[in-house]
Structure 1
Amino acid sequence: MGVAQNSEPKEEALALFEDYAPTIEEEEGPILYKRPVQGDLTGDGAPDVLVEFGIGGGGTAVLYKQVAIYLNTDDGMQVVGGFEPEYCPSIDRIEGGTVYVEQLEACALPHPETVATHQYVFDSGRLKRRP
């Protein structure tokens, strides 16, 4: 695996996400929020990207969030899966192959409190909670 040569990883991941966004919105509802977080998920030295996004229900409130996982390959960024925990996630950072995720009290609140922080690692095509 290598770093994509033609664009920045965040920009490339967001462009791929935007291409797929209409399908998500058709199935889930409007995407009201998206935020890329960059870091090395696989230990290969290439920056990978998580795109956190929020789904709304008609107003301006985010009802729930999901995360799309993009790996940096020799062919550029490739979506490899998603992450949908049973809580409202906020990706804090990717550091040393570990994804730090804040568990928010609720997605629909304007300024939710963090109730816990969880650690995940990328393994077998998905994020798994670190033991």
Structure 2
Amino acid sequence: MFSCAGCKQSLPKKEFISCSKCKLKYDLQCANLSSKEFKQLEPQFKNVWKCPECRSKEPKIDNTNTPVRSSTINASCSKLSCNDSMELSNITLRKKHSKSSPDAASNEYITVETLRDMLKLELANT
């Protein structure tokens, strides 16, 4: 008796499907097929069916028709301005933060005792 490559349970006598590539056998639930769908499948389809693991290893679909950003420079702009605008088009500019002086920072210092008391209070509340 064979076991399902997906769930490792024993396979039913007739309702299972074999991968045409790795030859492993799958029950209908692991193959994502209903009993009705399985009975309606043509023998040619059953002979070329591939399991999810083998399908995931296949190359994905061709994407040669996917539009991409043009790399050509607009002929109407001057050489310097186009280069500058192309270089800056992909740069995110961030606002500079003003540096605060140490005096502007909080003058309150936490002592070890204060920190210990705060931690005890937090732990007591949990």
Q: Under TM normalisation by the shorter chain, which class is it? A: under 0.3
TM-score, normalising length: structure 2: 0.20
TM-score, normalising length: structure 1: 0.20
| Structure with the largest fraction of strand | 1
Query: Between Structure 1 and Structure 2, whose CA radius of gyration is higher?
Result: 2
Higher relative CO (Cα under 8 Å, sequence separation at least 6) belongs to 1
| Structure with the largest fraction of helix | 2
